[in-house]
């Protein structure tokens, strides 16, 4: 433990983390609440736990549909402007589809890296033939 945080060695079972930090349209406390808080930014980073480095980024601004106008408070809080979501934003449905494609590509790469590591260590793992073992090529 370092400064109250658990520190894992490189042989931990977790190899990658995906960190997601949505931003959503919002208003100040005491103001009339929005009908719905819509996502306006969809950022994700893929972190290699062993190297502690960001290996990839997925990022899109999302154009709000139910309440299309951002509040001044939201822009002040997030730094995301109306112009940014109007010009660069995509509908949430499209963003989710693109994120699913990102996940599919990353999952393949991550699984391939894990399989390579297991092959090098000759650790038993799942195989397409169903033998439950791995061999060095």
Specify if 27 maps to a domain.
yes
Residue 58 lies in a domain: yes
Q: How many CB atoms neighbour CB 22 within 10 A? A: 13
Asked, for residue 125, whether it belongs to a domain, the answer is no
Residue 20, in any domain of the structure: yes
Is the residue at 114 inside a domain? no
Among 7-21, 44-58, 68-82, name the one with the lowest average pLDDT. 7-21
Structural domain harbouring 68: 16-94
Q: Enumerate residues 6+ apart whose C-beta is below 8 A from 43.
A: 20, 21, 22, 23, 57, 58, 59
Q: Is residue 82 domain-resident? A: yes
Least confident segment among 13-17, 38-42, 121-125: 121-125
Cross-strand pairs, 46: 18, 56
pTM for this structure?
0.70
* Residue 50 CA neighbour count, 13 Å, CB half: 10
Q: pLDDT tens, 107-126?
A: 766 666 666 665 555 544 44
**Digit-coded pLDDT (tens) for 125-137:** 444 444 444 444 4
Distance CA 132, CA 123 (A): 10
Residue 34 included in any domain: yes
pLDDT per residue as tens digits for the range 63-109:
999 999 999 999 999 999 999 999 999 999 999 999 988 888 877 66
- Total structural domains within the chain: 1
Kindly state the helix (H) or strand (E) to which residue 59 belongs, with its residue range: strand 53-61
**CATH code where residue 30 lies:** 3.30.420.10
């Amino acid at each position: 433990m370092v400064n109250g945080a658990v520190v894992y060695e490189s042989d931990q079972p977790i190899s990658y983390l995906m960190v997601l930090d949505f931003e959503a349209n919002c208003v100040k406390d005491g103001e009339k609440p929005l009908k719905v808080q819509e996502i306006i930014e969809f950022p994700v980073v893929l972190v290699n736990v062993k190297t502690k480095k960001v290996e990839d980024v997925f990022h899109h601004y999302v154009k709000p549909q139910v309440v299309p106008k951002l509040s001044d408070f939201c822009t002040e809080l997030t730094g995301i402007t109306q112009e940014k979501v109007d010009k660069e934003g995509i509908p949430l449905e499209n963003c989710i589809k693109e994120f699913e494609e990102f996940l599919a590509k990353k999952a393949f790469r991550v699984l391939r890296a894990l399989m390579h590591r297991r092959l090098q260590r000759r650790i038993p793992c799942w195989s397409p033939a169903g033998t439950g073992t791995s061999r060095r090529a």
